[in-house]
Amino acid sequence: MKYVEKVLAEVKAKNPNENEFHQAATEILTSLEPVVSRHPEYEQTALLERFVEPERVILFRVPWVDDQNKVHVNKGYRVQFNSAIGPYKGGLRFHPTVNLSVIKFLGLEQILKNSLTGLPIGGGKGGSDFDPKGKSDNEIMRFCQSFMTELCRHVGADTDVPAGDIGVGGREIGYLFGQYKRIKNEHVGVLTGRGLSYGGSLARTEATGYGLVYMTEEALNVRNDSLKGKTVIVSGSGNVAIYAVEKAQSLGAKVVAMYDSNGYIYDKNGIQLDVIKQIKEVERARISEYAKRVKGAEYHEGCKGIWNIPCDVALPCATQNEVDAESAKALIKNGVKLVGEGANMPTTLEGISAFQKAGVILLPAKAANAGGVATSALEMAQSSGRLYWSFEEVDKKLKGIMVNIYHNMDNAAAEYGLSGNYVAGANIAGFKKVAEAMLAQGIV
């Protein structure tokens, strides 16, 4: 049995029922085969076995009291996956579907994503099965304080630096930071995505969505094409989706559809982003509101139908496995040219293979959404230097990083005879640096 197959079989046997983790490990390990076969020292040092086993998994109880004085208990997680190239770095997700498998798949992806940024950050991820929907600000604050009361013993500006993800945005980072500072008496860069008044970086809010579109534009530009005049679908309507729409529109694309977890909107005239921002960022309301406010817009219950809308470019920006084989086939049938993954692992393994067979340009998540964590690393640099860069400065660095990642994964794919296979290219380019650092540091 080949080394990668052996390790993959062990991952499945040793981590039963962790389906999302198995899926990410399968995608990654399978595409690393050509690299691994050139490097026998990986097997001799059990490098892959170490790569798929988190350095540390922290599970904890998060008790909190709601506005009616009822006590609730949620699960808290932090997976400190790999610190070979820098302190653990990765977001916190608050969503009822969070479990160990989800956090481990996100953590594994994060190792390679962070490596691709070219910046010194290792991989980690955390979160809770807490559902922020419908909670008051005070309930959110008490939950975040309880979460950080435990987490603060495990994180630190040079140890592990969490940030946002689904259900964790500026409000939650503020409450988490306040509690960390209160307990530790240290005003340091222990979290990124902080507010601008207390150490945050300009352009971090926009970074993931903007970065996704910078890479999309580069992939089109090298093919003598561009987003100008393209019809685009962006799933989700959270942080990543909103700023992907903003940048795509500024480059002349027409975004016609978005969704939240209840249903999708279709606006053939092009989405009015100010209305979306008002509904989602200010009111925290449902996207169905959009069709009540904008003439000519339609609302449809359920998410899946969005992929039946004809488009040139699809940017899935909500959650894992939102594009399955059936959705991929519908997109292909309608002539999609490029799929850029804003969310983490939004396409199932069957969906990926359908896109690849059809010759659709697929920009994989760990490359395409790396702009968020890259800008987090720029926030860390500003915190350490005790200074601030302008929006233009950060945005320019972000764009440079995204263009660079695109060419690195393109070159890595070509080097192994896999031209155009960016799933393999991103995994290979990200893995090489991590492997080199792990080898240099001995058996740890």
89 touching ligand 2IT, by CB under 6 A: yes
CA angle in degrees (0–180, nearest 5) for 184-100-43: 100
Minimum Å gap between C-beta 161 and ligand 2IT is 7
How far apart are the C-alpha atoms of 314 and 244, rounded to whole Å? 11
- Residues 18-47 contacting ligand 2IT, CB under 6 A: none
Minimum Å gap between C-beta 367 and ligand NDP is 11
Select from 86, 107, 123, 164 the one that contacts ligand NDP (CB under 6 A): 164
238 touching ligand NDP, by CB under 6 A: yes
Minimum Å gap between C-beta 442 and ligand NDP is 32
Supply the DSSP symbol for 117. Answer: T
211: closest CA among 340, 361, 378? Answer: 340
Select from 25, 244, 297, 318 the one that contacts ligand NDP (CB under 6 A): 318
Q: By C-beta, is 254 or 366 nearer to ligand 2IT?
A: 366
What stretches of 282-332 adopt beta strand conformation (E)? 298-301, 313-316
Beta-ladder partners of 248: none
Residue sitting closest to ligand NDP (CB)? 238
Question: Given strand 338-340, what is the order of strands in its sheet?
Answer: 298-301, 263-266, 254-259, 231-235, 313-316, 338-340, 361-363
- Please say whether the dihedral angle defined by the alpha carbons of residues 338, 341, 346 and 351, taken in this order, is positive or negative: positive
Q: Using CB under 6 A as the criterion, what x/- string covers residues 189-218 for binding ligand 2IT?
A: ---x--------------------------
Do the beta carbons of residue 425 and residue 112 sit within 8 Å? no
Residues with Cβ within 8 Å of 422's Cβ and at least 6 positions away in sequence, in order, are 361, 362, 363, 364, 367, 409, 410, 413
- Please say whether the dihedral angle defined by the alpha carbons of residues 162, 163, 166 and 169, taken in this order, is positive or negative: positive
Select from 54, 76, 87, 90 the one that contacts ligand 2IT (CB under 6 A): 90
Do the beta carbons of residue 175 and residue 146 sit within 8 Å? no
How far apart are the C-alpha atoms of 85 and 130, rounded to whole Å? 31
Select from 179, 231, 327, 344 the one that contacts ligand 2IT (CB under 6 A): 344
192 binds, among ligand 2IT, ligand NDP, none (CB under 5 to 8 A by kind): ligand 2IT
Q: By C-beta, is 3 or 422 nearer to ligand 2IT?
A: 422
115 touching ligand NDP, by CB under 6 A: no
Minimum Å gap between C-beta 167 and ligand NDP is 5
How far apart are the C-alpha atoms of 132 and 140, rounded to whole Å? 7
- Residues 98-137 contacting ligand 2IT, CB under 6 A: 113
Select from 126, 238, 364, 372 the one that contacts ligand 2IT (CB under 6 A): 372
Q: By C-beta, is 241 or 354 nearer to ligand NDP?
A: 241
Select from 192, 231, 327, 369 the one that contacts ligand NDP (CB under 6 A): 369
Do the beta carbons of residue 181 and residue 156 sit within 8 Å? no
Which range touches ligand NDP (CB under 6 A), out of 34-42, 72-80, 260-268, 383-391? 260-268
Catalytic residues: 125
Write out the H or E segment, with its range, that includes residue 162: strand 160-163
Which range touches ligand 2IT (CB under 6 A), out of 85-93, 218-226, 249-257, 397-405? 85-93
Minimum Å gap between C-beta 280 and ligand NDP is 7
Q: What is the 3-state secondary structure (H, E, C) of 124-136?
A: EEEEECCCCCCCC
82 touching ligand NDP, by CB under 6 A: no
Q: Using CB under 6 A as the criterion, what x/- string covers residues 189-228 for binding ligand NDP?
A: -------------------x--------------------
334 touching ligand NDP, by CB under 6 A: no
Select from 317, 339, 424, 435 the one that contacts ligand NDP (CB under 6 A): 317
How far apart are the C-alpha atoms of 255 and 257, rounded to whole Å? 6
How far apart are the C-alpha atoms of 135 and 171, rounded to whole Å? 13
Q: By C-beta, is 320 or 327 nearer to ligand 2IT?
A: 320
Kindly give the residue spans of alpha helices, DSSP state H, lying in 317-440: 325-333, 349-358, 365-368, 370-385, 391-415, 422-440
Q: Which residues contact ligand 2IT by CB under 6 A?
A: 89-91, 113, 163, 165, 192, 344, 372-373, 376
